[in-house]
Amino acid sequence: MGVLDGFMNGGGAFLKWENPGTSYTGIITAVEARQNKKFDSPDLAYWEDGSPQMQCLLTLATDYRDASREDDDGTRLLAINLWSGQKKSLIAACKAAGVPEPQVGQVFTATHVSGVGNAKAPRVFEYVLAAGPTPVAGLLEVAPDPTPQPPAPAAPAPAATPVDTAKQLLAAGLSTQDVAAASGLPETVVAALANL
């Protein structure tokens, strides 16, 4: 069963981008490299040279709910085109987080900056990734910096992220409600972490 199975008929699973300024945050629970499909068609999309048009498909545990769906657990899908501006925004987010690619367990925020989603005004996004490899890495083609760098001075250990804190508290046996209160994460996100 593919990651999209069960979502296509339920509606509301993909994040909706109706207006610039819309922003969503969730914890990554799955990362997949997936071939894009032609608009309004089940056929796979290819470039003129025959190479496949690829996307990064993120599954996010969020605290968003569709009131019309009783079974909505907050799982949302985000497809990021691995070409043009969306690819550049994803690479920038990964570099800023110090990781080669999005990883399960990281907090991911996507913000619709501008555009309406057509050829004349494509949607522009900004991604923020809060610091394990996935199949997306090779498609991002992040080139290493060839400039030799002097050794960095020893830095203090980074502060634990809310996700790290939640994982530690869950491992200690605290309830999802207590972990949510202590970490500041929504209880639904903590529940998703507990099930990883």
- pLDDT score, position 1: 29
pLDDT of residue 169: 76
Does an H or E element contain 69, and which? none
Q: pLDDT tens digits for 96-116?
A: 998 899 999 899 999 988 887
35-69 residue pLDDT tens: 988 878 889 999 999 999 999 999 998 888 888 88
Other beta carbons within 10 Å of 94 = 22
* Higher-confidence position of 195 and 63: 63
Q: In what order do the strands lie in the sheet with 107-114?
A: 75-81, 54-61, 23-35, 107-114, 124-129
Question: Which residues, other chains included, contact 24 with Cβ-Cβ below 8 Å and sequence gap of 6+?
Answer: 15, 60, 62, 64, 76, 78, 109, 110
Confidence of residue 135 (pLDDT cuts 50, 70, 90): very low
Mean pLDDT score of the chain: 77
